[in-house]
Amino acid sequence: MSLNLDQYVSEFSTQNINGEHLLQLDGSKLKALGMTSSQDRAIIKKKLKEMKASLEKARKAQEKMEKQREKLRKKEQEQLQRKAKKTDKSSSDATEGTNEQ
């Protein structure tokens, strides 16, 4: 509707074309849905291309964020392990000192 292609809304609704299906449409599938105007198909294909690019950019950003979180989690885990080793060593040293006395 925002592309002023309201005349196709009913057919897309009838065919249960949702966002996921929409991204899979190409020129021939659009034509099969009753979009006979090559200009209208071009408008839709251009918008779909933009949407796909936007989705890919968002997916990559999400992956980057997940990698950063995983890296931070590993770093925190390593710090905890180092801290635990220091605690074990100092308690071990203290026990040895007590045993020597």
CATH number at residue 64: 1.10.150.50
Residue 91: HSE in the Cβ half-sphere, 13 Å Cα cutoff: 6
pLDDT at residue 66 in the model: 96
State yes or no: pLDDT of 98 exceeds 60: no
Our count of domains for the chain comes to 1
Name the band, by pLDDT with cuts 50, 70 and 90, for residue 31: very high
Task: Give the span between the Cα atoms of 51 and 46, in whole angstroms.
Answer: 9
pLDDT in tens, 42-74: 999 999 999 999 999 999 999 999 999 999 999
State yes or no: pLDDT of 96 exceeds 80: no
Quick check: 8 and 33 in contact, CB under 8 A?
A: yes
45 belongs to a structural domain: yes
101 belongs to a structural domain: no
Average pLDDT, the chain: 87
CA 41-8-31 angle, 5° bins: 40
Task: Give the span between the Cα atoms of 35 and 31, in whole angstroms.
Answer: 5
Quick check: 62 and 21 in contact, CB under 8 A?
A: no
Domain limits at 55? 6-81
64 belongs to a structural domain: yes
pLDDT at residue 70 in the model: 96
Q: What percent of the chain has pLDDT over 70?
A: 89
86 belongs to a structural domain: no
96 belongs to a structural domain: no
Task: Give the span between the Cα atoms of 24 and 53, in whole angstroms.
Answer: 14
92 belongs to a structural domain: no
97 belongs to a structural domain: no
The pTM of the full predicted model, rounded to 2 decimals, is 0.60
68 belongs to a structural domain: yes
